[in-house]
Structure 1
Amino acid sequence: MSTIKLDPRRLSFIRTMDSRLVSYNIEMTEVTGGTFWRPYTPGQIAGKEDYPQVEDLSQLWKLMEVFPPADLYEERARELAKALGPAYIRVSGSWATNTYYDFDGHTGGQPPKGFQSVLTREQWNSLLDFVKYVDAKLLVSMANCDGVRNPDGTWNPDQAKLLFDYSRDYGVPIAAAEFMNEPNTTILGGTPSNYTAEDFSRDQDAFFRFIHENYPEVLTVGPCGSGEKFSPHVGYHNLEVIPSDTLLQSCIEKADVFSYHMYNCFSERGAFLGRHWTADQAASEDYLGIPYEAALFYKKLRDKYCPGAQMWVTESGDAGCGGNTWASTFLDVLRSADELGRFCTVTDGVIFHNTFMSSDYGYLDHKTHLPRPNYWLALLWNRLMGVRVYDSGEEIREGLHCYVHSRKDGKKGYTYMIINNSPIQKAFIELPGPGIRYTLSSRTLRSGETLLNGRPLTVLETAKLPALEGESVKAGELELSPMTVTFLTVEI
């Protein structure tokens, strides 16, 4: 049993966060249509059915399914995205590295030599309209495949110029750009064969200069680090990973924003690639601490190569390769909540949840666009947690992960987010005065059900959200059930 006594008078200010902290990805393959991760079965999601393993990359196709382009005009998806509030939307993913931009229809939908997919004008318009409707800012990564090479092997900016100019002229300019997705593991990303760290440094420098000279208002973001063994709890088995430090050593142009990707592990789909954690470990201290270890690791590189820059986690999810079997359930809410809370104690920046509405880790169900548990967490965070971050003064331990921000409503006081990740023990909070409580829970951890103060959260009609009403609590002892996330607003 854990107990803490809240004392708002002793809180110390840490920093002010970007108001678009909670952001998300729409994969390029969602926009164009194409292959993505085959959904788990209901039995696999519930933990009642095993997932069949593959042996190596040659069998990767068995994990995939072909999907049509996402309907970005669908009312429910648009309204639920808008309800989250202003965000960055990143359009990228491994598929973006080899996508051809065809805005006049000359390809007839057939990828030119050196590319693997085609983005049409209509598809990009739908994405730009979505970004504008939900009051987002756009982050993209570029194609970096055989199709965008000059005769001497260097990167050619013609396709990038087409994308930037078209988006600007359409009225939804690109706000930020990474050169490419996940350069640390080029074998998986569609780059030219034998693409080296030196090649990346040369080409990213060329891209950043291209941005500075032609679109000086656009933030340059990089290196988009991924796959590095920053902790004994993560890592590929045998795949070669180029360290971000190596990628950046030869770079001349400094990024405006330092970026990396954060997945706690490989999902059941990708267990052949590297470390996989099981569902019974999903609330453990070691597992929940992985994003914090990543933030500290990459903070050192940020300070070395672009001191003072924000850090953007341009992909974040429970597990690479589409998410774990429990990614779409309440069990993953504890990880998402802890990553948000602890990241803010390390640095200013933005976390891009992967994805908004595709695969098992999406905020929304791919078919119905109904919210999954992580959506409700993000919505409550954005409704309650302000941008000013404070040190709670409490050591993080099983049963009590406590994070403190200013109130989003602007009133004097604070919002606490307290995670009880103990599977069996209650936690207790001593309140010095009255407050308002918002507790997220589920009767079945491996289900899509989310309760707010014991009442199910559901969307009414097409996209009508329920009233996210808190429960008034008096000064004294407050009990927190196991495996719950509680937001608590207090006045001073």
Structure 2
Amino acid sequence: MAHTDPNYICATIDWWPSNKCDYRQCPWGSSSALNLDLSHPFLVKAVQAFNRMRIRVGGSLQDQVLYNVGRYTGPCHPFVKIKGGLFGFSKGCLPMNRWDKLNQFFNKTRSLVTFGLNALHGRHQIKRGVWGGDWDSSNAHDFIKYTISKGYQIDSWEFGNELSGNGIGAMVYAEQYGSDVIELRGIIDNLYRQFRPKPLLVAPGGFFDKQWFAKLLQISGSEIVDVMTHHMYNLGPGVDRNLVKKILDPHFLSRASVTFTGLQQTINTDGPWASAWIGESGGAYNSGGLHVSDTFVDSFWYLDQLGMAAKYHTKVYCRQTLIGGNYGLLNKTTFMPNPDYYSALLWHRLMGTGVLAVGRINIAPHLRTYAHCSKGKPGITLLLINLSNQTHFELGVHSILNMNLHTTQHKTLKKNTSFVHGLKTAVSWVGSKSTDEDLSREEYHLTPRHGYIQSKTMLLNGVPLELTEDGDIPSFRPTMVKVNSPISIAPLSIKFVQFPNFDAPGCK
């Protein structure tokens, strides 16, 4: 039903300095593109484990970043807090020796890089929150030229951050934005004229506004913008005391589909040459939720949205953040992985690019189900998410021509109900029926330590996921189960199930 990019999993490196604070918390530390310890072995190994992770450099302050290169001769200082500044900060500067170090890190970790450019340079505020005037492209031009001269590989250049619609902090009208992306396209095409393929042009990196996004595509025209990026923080503010309740509410989680549907319709109508990415998503905005975004429970939201986004033709999903804030995949101080890091890595290793449709006939809303072609080998992989705190699901697997999941819910010994749902795409066994009983599937069952869903330790098949003594990412060892035996998923747990012996036409 859809396909993702091979490097679907993406994470961001932001610009926030250590004195960025929300709700009397200052959770950023030294995690900025300007001061992150790029040589820390835990950081390097965590990114290398993905074998080509996409990293997006960007965030709220990117439209105040100047690049200390070429015609720019001003001072090169980091961001400082100032009254009346955009987001409460001054303009900041990226020295080229720091850009060199960032690219050494990207090369060492084999990262794919999306870099967010300053889209406010040269503009002025024409009224409260609204910026007008032409974009001054000279600094971006010189920066891109320097990047090429050093041989740095940039997969995509993104234009601006959260300037679409009503904007966050600042907004630019879509007509002006459309004119400016045409100019950026000219710069990319000219400076990369001897390169094939050229980097993608990605925009606008903001919250979806149907009218604004449609106007951008109409004004810029055919094949100017390669990717339409949008941001999602559907859980609300990080200080919300109901974050856990929202995460475990299937009806609340499903509301995100409205945004995915709206963007896909807009692209189909006004820009069929473009694809859709989530350029930034951290669940809860304003740095995430303390003791929520960095714990096991967040993976219910994160994995569910990864599955949902893929189903709605999202090619890339960038998690806010790789490190920094409460929602970092890595702890900002220790660089140790948080539970969502392991969820992301499991997805990356198990879920292929082909998205399969899962039928939902009388299916309990608390059992979230997603299916993909397996990554790197034949078969299919199911992702099962049990949001219920009391219902234990057992799924019986049958193969004739289709795969049906016969499910029994157990709330009490007295109350049992059953229903059937199946993959809409025909899925058949590889091999003869006589050998079915000898075939096995792989199961990766994720639970929190001691059953506490706000634990910072995730268990894989009962074993804590922790770095080795050398700081290496632990091995993911599945449980091998006879392929025809029931699939069991406990309350408040997550399971990846890989069937190596299924053949789906969509996975050929």
| TM-score bucket (shorter structure) | 0.7 to 0.9
Aligned mate of 2:155, from 138, 157, 175: 175
Tell me whether 1:212 sits opposite 2:189 in the alignment: yes
- CA–CA distance in structure 1, aligned partners of residues 91 and 27 of structure 2: 16
Tell me whether 1:82 sits opposite 2:69 in the alignment: no
- 2:91 equivalent in structure 1: 116
- CA–CA distance in structure 2, aligned partners of residues 67 and 489 of structure 1: 39
Contact 2:27 2:326 in 1 (8 A): no
| 1:403-428 Cα shifts (integer Å, max 9, x gaps) | 12222241x32111111111211111
Tell me whether 1:406 sits opposite 2:414 in the alignment: no
Aligned mate of 2:343, from 365, 377, 399: 377
SS of aligned partner of 2:354? strand
| Offset at residue 389 of structure 1 (A) | 2.0
Contact 2:203 2:225 in 1 (8 A): yes
SS of aligned partner of 1:140? strand
- 1:451 equivalent in structure 2: 459
- CA–CA distance in structure 2, aligned partners of residues 169 and 469 of structure 1: 44
Taking a change above 3 Å as real, the CA distance of residues 331 and 126 of structure 1, as seen in their structure-2 partners, is same
- CA–CA distance in structure 1, aligned partners of residues 472 and 28 of structure 2: 31
- CA–CA distance in structure 2, aligned partners of residues 171 and 148 of structure 1: 31
| Offset at residue 347 of structure 1 (A) | 0.9
Deviates more, 1:424-433 or 1:354-363: 424-433
Tell me whether 1:415 sits opposite 2:410 in the alignment: no
Tell me whether 1:440 sits opposite 2:446 in the alignment: yes
| 1:268-319 Cα shifts (integer Å, max 9, x gaps) | 34x6xxxx85322211112221333221111111112320432111101211
The amino acid that maps onto 1:440 is L
Rg larger in structure: 2
Higher RCO (CA < 8 A, seq sep 6+): 1
- CA–CA distance in structure 2, aligned partners of residues 186 and 462 of structure 1: 48
Tell me whether 1:473 sits opposite 2:481 in the alignment: yes
| 1:305-348 Cα shifts (integer Å, max 9, x gaps) | 32043211110121121112311111110111111112222215
Tell me whether 1:250 sits opposite 2:219 in the alignment: yes
SS of aligned partner of 1:86? coil
| 1:109-158 Cα shifts (integer Å, max 9, x gaps) | 33799961111122212221121122122112211335568xx9311211
The amino acid that maps onto 2:247 is A
Taking a change above 3 Å as real, the CA distance of residues 37 and 362 of structure 1, as seen in their structure-2 partners, is farther
- CA–CA distance in structure 2, aligned partners of residues 431 and 37 of structure 1: 50
TM-score scaled by length of structure 1:
0.80
1:323-342 alignment to 2 at 5 Å?
Answer: 323-325=288-290, 326-342=292-308
| Offset at residue 390 of structure 1 (A) | 1.6
The amino acid that maps onto 1:487 is F
Taking a change above 3 Å as real, the CA distance of residues 213 and 109 of structure 1, as seen in their structure-2 partners, is closer
SS of aligned partner of 1:36? coil
SS of aligned partner of 1:279? helix
| 1:145-180 Cα shifts (integer Å, max 9, x gaps) | 35568xx93112111112212222222232212211
The amino acid that maps onto 1:362 is G
Aligned mate of 2:494, from 473, 481, 485: 485
| Offset at residue 394 of structure 1 (A) | 3.5
Deviates more, 1:74-83 or 1:103-112: 103-112
- 1:361 equivalent in structure 2: 327
Contact 1:94 1:190 in 2 (8 A): no
SS of aligned partner of 1:387? strand
Taking a change above 3 Å as real, the CA distance of residues 186 and 120 of structure 1, as seen in their structure-2 partners, is farther
Contact 1:18 1:350 in 2 (8 A): yes
- 1:101 equivalent in structure 2: 67
SS of aligned partner of 1:199? helix
The amino acid that maps onto 1:206 is E
Contact 1:363 1:374 in 2 (8 A): yes
- CA–CA distance in structure 1, aligned partners of residues 351 and 173 of structure 2: 43
1:57-72 alignment to 2 at 5 Å?
Answer: 67-68=29-30, 69-72=35-38
Contact 1:399 1:427 in 2 (8 A): no
- CA–CA distance in structure 1, aligned partners of residues 112 and 123 of structure 2: 26
Taking a change above 3 Å as real, the CA distance of residues 164 and 284 of structure 1, as seen in their structure-2 partners, is same
TM-score scaled by length of structure 2:
0.78
Contact 1:401 1:420 in 2 (8 A): yes
Tell me whether 1:166 sits opposite 2:146 in the alignment: yes
| 1:227-266 Cα shifts (integer Å, max 9, x gaps) | 65x8xxxxxxxxxxx8433554533463111211111132
- 2:411 equivalent in structure 1: none
Contact 1:219 1:257 in 2 (8 A): yes
- 2:285 equivalent in structure 1: 320
Taking a change above 3 Å as real, the CA distance of residues 329 and 167 of structure 1, as seen in their structure-2 partners, is same
- Aligned residue pairs total 431
| 1:87-129 Cα shifts (integer Å, max 9, x gaps) | 2211111111011111489545337999611111222122211
RMSD: 2.8
- CA–CA distance in structure 2, aligned partners of residues 463 and 294 of structure 1: 39
- CA–CA distance in structure 2, aligned partners of residues 374 and 487 of structure 1: 14
- CA–CA distance in structure 1, aligned partners of residues 28 and 45 of structure 2: 26
- CA–CA distance in structure 1, aligned partners of residues 78 and 141 of structure 2: 19
The amino acid that maps onto 1:257 is V
- CA–CA distance in structure 2, aligned partners of residues 147 and 292 of structure 1: 37
The amino acid that maps onto 1:83 is A
- CA–CA distance in structure 2, aligned partners of residues 189 and 201 of structure 1: 20
Contact 1:440 1:450 in 2 (8 A): yes
- 1:56 equivalent in structure 2: none
Tell me whether 1:156 sits opposite 2:136 in the alignment: yes
Aligned mate of 1:283, from 245, 248, 252: 248
